[in-house]
Structure 1
Amino acid sequence: MRLPDDAFDFLGYTLGRMYDTRNGEPYLGPSPSRKKVERLCREISELTTRRMALLDIPVLVGRINRKLRGWSNYFRLGIVHKAYWRINGHVRHRVRQWLHAKFKGRGQRKYRYPNAYLYRELELLQVRRD
Structure 2
Amino acid sequence: MRTVASRVRRVRSRQHAEALRAEAAAVLAPMGLRLSEAKTQVVHIDEGFDFLGWHIQRPRKRGTDRNTVHTCSKNALASIVDQVRAIAGRSKHRHLSDLPRQLNGVLRGWCAYFRHGVSAAAFGCLEEHSWHRVTRWLRKRPIRVPWASLFGCCLPGKRLAENGILLFQPRRFW
1:72 aligns with 2:132: no
Q: 1:109 to 1:68 in 2, by over 3 A?
A: farther
Task: For 2:159, give the aligned amino acid.
Answer: L
Greater mean alpha carbon deviation, residues 96-105 or residues 60-69 = 96-105
Amino acid at match of 1:82: A
Asked whether the equivalents of residues 45 and 56 of structure 2 are also in contact (C-alpha less than 8 Å), the reply is no
5+ residue gaps, structure 2: 1-5, 11-43
Q: What secondary structure sits across from 1:86 in the alignment?
A: helix
Identity %: 24
Alignment-derived partner of residue 31 in structure 1: 71
Match 1:17 to one of 42, 58, 62? 58
- CA contact 2:155–2:161 (8 Å) conserved in 1: no
Give the gaps of 5 or more residues in structure 1. none
**Distance in 2, Cα, partners of 1:65 & 1:38:** 17
What is the distance in 2 between the residues matched to 1:110 and 1:78? 35
Q: TM-score, normalised by structure 2?
A: 0.62
Amino acid at match of 2:74: R
How far has the Cα of 1:117 moved from its partner? 5.1
Q: Distance in 2 between matches of 1:97 and 1:109?
A: 14
Shift of the 12–109 alpha-carbon distance from structure 1 to 2, 3 Å rule, reads farther
Question: Which amino acid in 2 is paired with 1:126?
Answer: Q
Q: Secondary structure at the match of 2:97?
A: helix
Following superposition, the deviation at residue 55 of structure 1 comes to 2.4
Tell me: higher relative CO, structure 1 or 2? Use CA pairs within 8 A at least 6 residues apart: 1
| Structure whose CA Rg is larger | 2
Question: C-alpha separation between the residues in 2 aligned to 1:19 and 1:26?
Answer: 4
TM-score, normalised by the number of residues in structure 1: 0.80
Q: Which residue of 1 aligns with 2:81?
A: 41
Q: Does 1:8 pair with 2:49?
A: yes
Number of aligned positions between the proteins: 128
Q: State the superposition RMSD in angstroms.
A: 2.9
